[in-house]
Homo-oligomer: A and B are copies of this chain.
Amino acid sequence: MMRQSQPRDRGIPEATVARLPLYLRALNGMAERGVATVSSEDLATAAGVNSAKLRKDLSHLGSYGTRGVGYDVEYLVYQISRELGLTQDWAVAIVGVGNLGRALANYGGFVSRGFRVAALLDADPEIVGDDIAGLNVEHIDELEAVIKRRGVSIVVLATPAAAAQELCDRVIAAGVTSILNFAPVVLSVPDTVDVRKVDLSIELQILAFHEQRKTDRMSGGPLMAVDSQ
């Protein structure tokens, strides 16, 4: 029983990977509240997706549910954590300790299971030496040494746009292959390196687009005289 479920199909779709953390969070909440078992319907609701999508997503990891019953919360937490690589812990370095870097260093969810802020680095001598969230800010000259010495495998770039590409090149040269970029630039990297981008002004612009449509619809009506062509 309990199917010694295999390593599993190495091809989990990106869209699925991007939702696993959502499921995990919902499941952790349930585990804390003592829920033992959950149906795809309820878990989907908690995660803000529909149940067909949730079942299809989980089916990519393996067959971890029980027909007629649902999923065991603890077990699913473990399986998703393992799939995401959260059973080991990752040393993260934050490069750039301005307002944003500071906020990130203090951000609770950051230090959550699986991740550990191992270094804060900045170029500004005013900032170097400060203690933030229990860590000493080190000089950017130490970048390569710190990455190697502390086994940093994920770097968060929270620098000004102008500095980002150069620092990106340096962390890659030091062996890092996963970067979370907050600087508003397109980083160019070899395709062995994963970059994820968080861009505040882009998110706002997307909202503005939809907001504009909504207000257009209110007032103007269906838009006058559609094109030539």
- A residues near B, CB below 8 A? 3-8, 10, 17-18, 20-22, 24-26, 46-48, 62-63, 78, 82-88, 90, 92, 98-100, 102-104, 106-107, 109-110, 112, 114-115, 153-154, 177-180, 184, 186, 188, 192, 194, 196, 198-215, 222-229
Contact = CB atoms under 8 A, between A and B. Distances in A.
A162 B3 CA distance: 38
- Give the most central of A184, A212, A214: most B CB within 10 Å: A212
List the 6 closest pairs (A to B, CB-CB), nearest first: A6-B227, A85-B212, A99-B103, A48-B186, A7-B223, A103-B103
A122 B5 CA distance: 49
Copies of this protein chain in the complex: 2
Contact of A225 (B6, B87, B180, B227): B6
Contact of A211 (B103, B153, B204): B153
A7 B229 CA distance: 12
A17 B206 CA distance: 7
A135 to B, nearest CB: 14
Contacts of A106: 99
Given A25-B184, A194-B210, 7 more contacts: A7-B224, A17-B206, A48-B186, A48-B188, A153-B211, A154-B204, A196-B207
Contacts of A78: 229
